[in-house]
Amino acid sequence: MSHIHPDDQAHIANLVQIYMSGNTDIYSVEFRLRCKDGSYKWILGRGMVITHSEDNKPLRMIGTHTDISALKQVQEILQEKERMLSQSQRIAHIGSWSLDLASGYLSWSDEMYPIYRVTRETFGHSSEAFIKLIHPKIMTQ
């Protein structure tokens, strides 16, 4: 634990306890691990007990550690870009949407809801629900 980032230690200890108590089949956690040079790398740790004692206590565990630092960096950049886009849309009072053609699910940015005076919970998230907002008479014919 001394090589684990202080902000991650409690989370890891909790997940280990949950796993060792038998509440999950596989142990999986993302955490920061201190390197020899003092820097930190993001690690995806996965493992599982493969041998138990007669009274079902864990005896042997196998696992992997994968360096996911590059993935975490890309995620942080994406989150920052999404935050900037959301803030820009809020300031300009514009929204954006995307439609998944396979499922028919219509996804809206946060600013679209006040523009159309609906909430995330009341909007149907389909092209039909959107058309009904714009042309309610078309949907009732």
Is residue 114 included in any domain, yes or no? Answer: yes
Q: Give pLDDT, residue 25.
A: 85
Q: Are 45 and 28 in contact (CB under 8 A)?
A: yes
Instruction: Taking residues 71-98, report their average pLDDT.
Output: 96
In this structure, what token pair is assigned to residue 31? 């955490």
Report how far residue 19's alpha carbon sits from residue 130's, in angstroms, rounded to the nearest whole number: 45
Query: 63 and 10 in one domain?
Result: yes
109 neighbors 88 (Cβ within 8 angstroms): no
CB 99, CB 127: distance < 8 Å: yes
pTM: 0.69
Residue 139 reports pLDDT greater than 80: no
Tally Cβ neighbours within 10 Å of residue 40.
15
Instruction: Give the CATH number for residue 120.
Output: 3.30.450.20
Residue 62 has pLDDT above 90, yes or no: yes
Work out the average pLDDT over 46-73.
Answer: 93
Question: What's the chain's average pLDDT?
Answer: 92
Structural domain that includes position 108 = 86-135
pLDDT at 88: 96
Residue type, 91: I
Taking the C-alpha atoms of residue 10 and residue 1, their distance in angstroms, rounded to an integer, is 10
Do 128 and 95 fall into the same domain? Answer: yes
Do 96 and 58 share a structural domain? no
Comparing 20 with 64, the larger pLDDT belongs to 64
pLDDT number for residue 34? 97
With vertex at residue 79, the alpha carbon angle to CA 75 and CA 82, rounded to the nearest 5 degrees, is: 140
Which range, of 80-84, 99-103, 135-139, averages the lowest pLDDT? 135-139
Tell me: do 93 and 61 sit in the same domain. no
- Any domain includes 141: no
Query: For residue 138, what pLDDT band results from cuts at 50, 70 and 90?
Result: low
Beta bridge partners of 99: 106
Number of separate domains in the chain: 2
Q: Which of 33-37, 88-92, 134-138 has the lowest mean pLDDT?
A: 134-138
Integer Cα distance of 64 and 83 in angstroms: 33
| Rounded CA separation 27/117 (Å) | 44
